[in-house]
A and B are shown apart, each in its own frame.
Chain A
Amino acid sequence: MHRTGELFGQFQTLEQQKETATLGMWVFLVTEILFFGGMFLAYSINRHAYSTAFGIGGNMLDLKLGGANTIVLILSSLTMAMAVWSATTSRKSLVTSFLILTLILGCAFLGVKVVEYKQKYDHHLIPGNNFDISYCIKNRSAICGTPEDLTKEATEIEEGLKVDPDLNAHSQLYFSLYFAMTGLHALHMIIGAGLLLFLIAQASKGRFDANYNTPVENIGLYWHFVDIVWIYLFPLLYLINRHLA
């Protein structure tokens, strides 16, 4: 039952098959760049137009959770790279372990994201009729953080309203983009987790070795791509206005 990569009918050689699969994945990633590109463009234009509202919106995100998530994701890229390395050097049991580790880290990221979304819900920062950028200021309750944080936030919003009277609308635009961008990123993570499950099932049968490791390599490429998107999202959404604080 041991198969070192079967040759599909349309190909002449295994090298051709591998080259084809890899090129296909790279072309796919190019389309993904353009896919996210539309949103990055929308972000840049609006960030330029409403820098105050976007700055305040960015300061309302949880830097600790976001930062922790960034580290989790970079670690998952490392374990993914290790999985690819283990496959290319025929360390079959290590492949499975590293893939499982990557999956756990990916799920941890998604879990933290759920916590963050819940927090935004509690703070009335979900775009829609109940959106209110000063909800936490008006209702000083424990869920919104420490009194010092809230005082700082109150001053920021007060100052912001002087510059931008439509602060509430414009910061709603910021959160529209925040949810669209991180939501689409999370969707890619979920798809990635599904792909990892498939890889783990294959790897546990010992399918990947130095001769045949294209799926690990290509899904690895996808996983790194999704990480890189976050590497851009994190500073754009969380960090860009921290000097105000």
Chain B
Amino acid sequence: MATTELHVPSGEKMPREHYLNATYGIRSWLLTTDHKRIAMLYLISVTFFFFVGGLFASLIRIHLLTPGGYLVTPETYNKLFTMHGVAMIFFFLIPSIPAVLGNFVIPIMIGAKDLAFPKINLLSWYIYLVGGAFVLYSFATGGLDTGWTFYTPLSSIYSNSAVTPAVIGIFINGFSSILTGLNFIVTVHTMRAPGMTWMRLPLFVWAHYATSIIFVLGTPVIAITLLLAGLERMFHLGFFNPAYGGDPILFQHLFWFYSHPAVYIMILPAMGVISEIIPTFARKPIFGYDFIAASSIGIAVIGFIVWAHHMFLTGQSTYSAVAFSFLTFLVAVPSAVKVFNWTSTLYKGSIAFDTPMLYGLGFIGLFTIGGLTGLFLACLGLDIHLHDTYFVVAHFHYIMVGGAIMGYLGGIHYWWPKITGRLYPEFLARIAAIVLFVGFNLTFFPQFILGYLGMPRRYHDYPPEYQVLNVMSTAGASILALGYLLPMIYLTWSMRYGKVAGKNPWPATGLEWTTDSPPLTENFVETPVVDWEVYDFEHRPELGLRGAIGKKPLPTHGDD
């Protein structure tokens, strides 16, 4: 299996007609039903929310530069971390990979002309915008100070900030997620091209199928929960109000029933991206395809029964805490299956350190740290010490920033030639990937130590002995910010001035690489027929890899 790179993209020309130049004008974008254009609309909007959330994060880090908290008042500090969480989680992380990359590549990957419901796809984007507008209104008119978790009775009775518009906005935005998930599930079931069997689906599609299950089953629960909390705030109903016998803990159960699986909404698509990048740049079929596909579904299923590990210290019986602790350890198994399979894929591969691969390798390392520290927190005794400290903050940022955003940026770089038809400047992109990795670790690794030493999260002040680590974290955050600005700049630059990429610049095996870059509005001239196995470099001589042999005659005679 020692195939090495031979492919040099040269003299490639942009296709004459593609989805970007098929029609012109603002209406052709705002009323489009083309999944690729909708993905671009999402790309712009989630990037906007990413920088809104990033702005709040910068203010938090600057504030924490010194003990005593001189930059903002405690009340403002509460609002900053709340708005950071709400913008990042509901309006960036959750839609990022599915709505941008998933939207763009899933139909092409399975050989379809579009998603099953193109108009509903556009509707999802508009719902997202309306939800986003409500949340921005809340930010602008008094902000939000409940924490992104909206725990009652703070959110329903005591908070004086603009909770109601934020709750309405997140409620509305939920339907955008539900419709995206519904669209993906139905698309994968009914829109596959001839020969694209379930076991030939790229792992990116499997990951999104699993994510969509969570979208469809989890999101309605957060919708109803926030609706009840909102009704309680607006009309003084008593669902979670102890004065009427309502139970605030019930809110936490309902909230985490969605919001823990939501963590897997953020990480599963990133895992899907990595499963595409690793075989492409190791020039080797992925190791244990079936196991990676099944582990995505496993994570989605087990992810639904671990929620109360967020509530070990907020009032539940010891027995249920033990059960949830055990189940939380269990969810580590399918996650580990993926990590082991990715590393096994690298073994004896012919590895190319292109930018997406740097993100992919970074993801594996950071996700492993984030995942393993999650096990610390699943451990009942240890969680009593670590609960609500910076250890938790560091843990979930390793998953969400080190995992999900690394995956997102890796995917953006990987499919950028397909999306725009042009290559980004490789050297600059590698520098940015390394800057991000360094900045990220410098920002969040000190927070593990801070948390272990006992610094609680969500406090605007800390004792002077914690300053060194906080300064390190803030310094890291400024490097991280540079790492995010760089891709913004060179990716935008490359849309016009980048080298023309051609159909398959890496080369990669997926169906999306057999069509033009950028693709036609209909994706393919003719409906493709898939007669090769997934991630098979060996029997695909057209990829131009040395060591490739001719088409496999009969794929039914067992595996090699």
Contact = CB atoms under 8 A, between A and B. Distances in A.
A16 B247 CA distance: 47
Given A38-B220, A41-B254, A176-B238, A170 B245 contact: yes
B118 interface: yes
Interface stretch (A24-32, A58-66, A192-200, A229-237): A24-32
Interface in B231-250: 231-232, 235-239, 243-247, 250
A150 interface: no
Contact of A45 (B117, B191, B244, B250): B250
B327 to A, nearest CB: 19
Contact of A27 (B216, B231, B235): B216
A42 interface: yes
Given A24-B186, A46-B247, A176-B244, A10 B217 contact: no
B220 A10 contact: no
B236 A19 contact: no
A142 interface: no
Given A27-B185, A38-B254, A170-B244, A127 B216 contact: no
A42 B239 contact: yes
B243 A169 contact: yes
A42 B236 contact: no
B116 interface: yes
B217 A30 contact: yes
A45 B254 CA distance: 12
Interface string A169-199: 1101100110110000000000000000000
Question: Interface centre among B217, B220, B223, B244, by most A CB within 10 Å?
Answer: B244
A128 B244 contact: no
Question: Interface residues of B: mostly helix, strand, loop or mixed?
Answer: helix
A6 to B, nearest CB: 14
A104 B226 CA distance: 33
Nearest to B245: A170
A132 B173 CA distance: 37
Contact of A173 (B112, B220, B221, B245): B245
With most chain A CB atoms within 10 A of its CB, the pick from B220, B236, B243, B245 is: B245
B239 A20 contact: no
Interface residues of A, number: 39
Contact of B236 (A24, A128, A180): A128
Interface string B161-187: 000000000000000001000110110
Contact of B238 (A24, A39, A129, A173): A173
A173 B186 contact: no
Nearest to A126: B235
B245 A49 contact: yes
Nearest to A8: B118
Nearest to B194: A12
B235 A127 contact: yes
A159 interface: no
A179 B235 CA distance: 11
A23 interface: yes
A36 interface: yes
A183 to B, nearest CB: 9
B1 to A, nearest CB: 36
Interface string A1-21: 000000001111000100110
B219 A24 contact: no
A31 B178 contact: yes
Interface residues of B, number: 42
Contact of A38 (B114, B228, B237): B228
A35 B222 CA distance: 8
A173 B190 contact: no
A67 interface: no
B239 A169 contact: no
Contacts of B113: 9-10
B541 to A, nearest CB: 29
A166 B243 CA distance: 9
B250 A10 contact: no
Contacts of B239: 42, 173, 176-177, 180
A37 B227 CA distance: 13
Contact of A172 (B117, B220, B244): B244
B224 interface: yes
A173 to B, nearest CB: 5
Given A10-B114, A127-B237, A169-B245, A36 B224 contact: yes
A70 to B, nearest CB: 24
Contacts of B245: 46, 49-50, 53, 166, 169-170, 173
Contacts of A180: 228, 231, 237, 239
A19 B220 contact: no
Contacts of A34: 216-218, 220-221
Contacts of A42: 228, 239, 250, 254
B197 interface: no
B23 interface: no
A12 B254 contact: no
Contact of B116 (A20, A166, A170, A177): A20
B429 interface: no
Interface of A: 9-12, 16, 19-20, 23-24, 27-28, 30-32, 34-39, 41-42, 45-46, 49-50, 53, 127-129, 166, 169-170, 172-173, 176-177, 179-180
14 contacts: A10-B113, A10-B118, A20-B191, A23-B185, A24-B120, A24-B186, A36-B224, A37-B221, A38-B228, A42-B254, A46-B246, A50-B245, A129-B236, A176-B239
The 5 closest A-B pairs by CB, nearest first: A38-B224, A35-B220, A176-B237, A10-B114, A34-B220
